[in-house]
Chains A and B, each alone.
Chain A
Amino acid sequence: MNIAAEGAYGGTLAFAPYLGLPDASAATTTTQADVFARRERQSTAFYQQPKTKTVYVEYQNHSSVVTYPDSSAEPPWLVPVLRSLLERRGVSVGWDSYDAKPTEAWQAARLLTYLFKLMRDNSKPPIITPLWDGGVQATWHRNGRDLEIVVSADEPPTYYFRDEAADEEEEEPLEPSRSRVQALIQQF
């Protein structure tokens, strides 16, 4: 899935996996919650167009959209990840009792889009944690091993992995290391 900022309009950032295709979709079903709404979209054009699903991440008058190919059923990790994000996001300035910024919807959308690229259906859902600068990180922890995917506000995404027993540690930019991170996720 390629990721690109399709455009910014009305305060919404849209991330689209299929750039270049006209948006000829129509909503078929809609469910809404306080913060998240999910909409299945089915092509109504006459030519072959991939069916996609869209996750809206909305809070504090900001919303971001994560769109991903609907190749099969919804991945089992998606709802736990969205729930973790919803429950743990930084709501207001100083949510950490110091000076943390509220979690930015578009940073959450960036992280979710990376997770769609990196996780498999059988991947263990990570815990989502807000960062002080409005970014977010996904964390896996098991038996002395830690993996983090960090989407912070002021630098390109990174990953961090540590295996305490093996005394191994690595920390690199995420983009050039996708296959490595995919393999690491499957260790949890």
Chain B
Amino acid sequence: MRLSRDELKGYMKNWDAETRDMLLERMEKSFRRAELEHFSKHEAIILQAALDRLIPRHETENIDLVGFLDWAVGKPLGRGDREEGMPAEEEFFHLGIRGTEETSLKKFNRSFAELTPEEQDSILSDIQQGNTKFFIKLLSKALIGYCAHPLAWMRMGFPGPAYPEGYVWIEQMQILQRRKHFPGWKTF
């Protein structure tokens, strides 16, 4: 991806001030955290290693998913349901991370964060098969953060908020023409 900060700012010009401020604040506060609230440093290192394999980002996609998870864990984000017998979300994360580390120690005799990428992938595959619920929880919660970040939208080709100008290009030809006016949209 080739996207400078200035380009992002140009991209944001289409949004109204309120939407823009809300997104800038999100990028500032929901992703980067000076101090983690829910996870220990050790947990954060494991999460970081796992998320780099689960959602591999380009080096310019500077999206701190561990910071986001720390912000998001325990927040319902639209859903309050909990399966019978399951622990609350924060506890579920602690248990899952501990499980990941234990699997790693058992299989490779090293911490998850110190494994080679291939070894990490094999552990993640084991978790996907063995502890599917945690795997889905981790992946989908992290994806909420990833998919809420303007840098990821640029990669997807998703224009973000439509307000206030709206989308007028609803047919194929219009889409293609419209895209020409947004250099940077499909150039990465």
Co-complex (A, B) = no
Residues of B in contact with A (beta carbons under 8 Å apart): none
Residues of A in contact with B (beta carbons under 8 Å apart): none
